[in-house]
């Protein structure tokens, strides 16, 4: 079983308009409503790949009820979300059909009480007993301690469960110090963490901060991974037009499924990049276009990157 953690789950609303223009009224041509938050997107892609998947985190209020109903209806993901008193947040993506650009509006999330946090920790530790891997994903709702991912990483490592960390800012910095098996920031998150905009150098720096492996999303340029045994970069064989929302989450699913299946790093990266590109073609986050994925997977080029020379050489 693969466990995903989404502390700040969301009900994702995607609106498609012919052209987005400020200060005007828009006629929406299509509406999609999905369970959202990074970990739930990851869980749905994992389930579509055939992996038994359990999702935990928080859900509350009418929005949380709608999210849980949709999760049950749309996927084979097992719902282990912890109920809370506050209402689950909503996110709104407005897709401009003329340009393909997406404008995202994200609510902050419900305030989590100490009692709700304690209940979640108990649920998380119980679920780890049956987990082959765990993904810790996304932003934190108000009330959750900023070092939460470091705590959850240490608990998973104590249980012998590999950990993938996908977050940003201070939670990422503190989480890296707990030595997750894999961290998956994007290029902007890496730059904010390390102070360098050169992705390979930044990934190596992030790895020195504690992660065993760093896999960095590079947007349309694909993904690179820096491990103890080497470094590789994979890129889509061609540009894919569409909505990029959730593409990074599909990449996480590709990496995590590859870890559980024991794939080589080049094969994991190829799967992650193909899934990410196929998600751009899908209608909403947490989905991927299966035909595009099958078509792209064997075409994804993976390049081994040079190992830096030792000091003084």
Positions marked catalytic: 249
What is the spatial distance between Cα 172 and Cα 176, in angstroms, rounded to a whole number?
Answer: 6
Cβ-in-10-Å burial (0-12, 13-18, 19+) of 142 comes to: exposed
Instruction: Give the other-Cβ count within 10 Å of 23's Cβ.
Output: 4
What is the side-by-side order of every strand in the sheet holding 102-106? 30-36, 10-17, 89-96, 102-106
Counting every residue, how long is the chain?
A: 313
Computed over its alpha carbons, how large is the radius of gyration of the chain?
Answer: 19
The three state secondary structure string of 109-146 is CCCCCHHHHHHHHHHHHHHHCCCCEEEEECCCCCCCCC
Dihedral sign of CA atoms 44, 78, 147, 152 in order = negative
Q: How many helices (H) and strands (E) does the chain have?
A: 10, 14
Residues pairing with 186 in the sheet: 217
Residues in a beta bridge with 106: 91
CA–CA gap between residue 196 and residue 184 (Å, rounded): 16
């Amino acid at each position: 079983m693969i466990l995903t953690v989404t502390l700040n789950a969301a009900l994702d609303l995607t609106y498609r308009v012919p052209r987005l223009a400020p200060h005007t009224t828009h006629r929406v041509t299509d509406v999609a409503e999905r369970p959202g938050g990074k970990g739930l997107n990851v869980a749905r892609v994992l389930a579509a790949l055939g992996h038994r998947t359990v999702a935990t985190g928080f859900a509350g209020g009418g929005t949380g009820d709608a999210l849980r109903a949709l999760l049950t209806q749309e996927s084979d993901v097992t719902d282990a979300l912890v109920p809370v008193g506050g209402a689950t947040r909503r996110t709104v993506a407005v897709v401009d059909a003329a340009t393909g650009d997406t404008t995202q509006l994200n609510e902050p999330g419900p305030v989590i009480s100490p009692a709700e946090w304690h209940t979640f920790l108990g649920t998380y530790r119980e679920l780890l007993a049956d987990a082959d891997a765990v993904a810790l994903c996304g932003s934190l709702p108000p009330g959750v301690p900023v070092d939460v991912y470091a705590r959850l990483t240490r608990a998973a490592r104590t249980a012998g469960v590999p950990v993938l960390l996908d977050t940003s800012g201070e939670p990422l910095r503190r989480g890296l110090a707990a030595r997750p098996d894999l961290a998956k920031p994007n290029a902007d998150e890496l730059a904010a963490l390390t102070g360098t905009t050169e992705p390979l150098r930044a990934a190596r720096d992030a790895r020195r901060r504690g992660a065993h492996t760093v896999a960095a999303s590079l947007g349309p340029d694909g993904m690179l991974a820096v491990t103890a045994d080497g470094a590789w970069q994979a890129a889509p064989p061609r540009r894919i037009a569409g909505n990029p929302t959730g593409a990074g989450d599909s990449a996480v699913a590709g990496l995590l499924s590859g870890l559980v299946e024991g794939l080589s790093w080049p094969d994991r990266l190829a799967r992650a990049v193909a899934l990410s590109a196929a998600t751009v073609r899908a209608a909403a986050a947490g989905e991927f276009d299966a035909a595009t994925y099958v078509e792209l997977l064997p075409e994804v080029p993976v390049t081994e990157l040079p190992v830096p020379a030792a000091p003084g050489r």
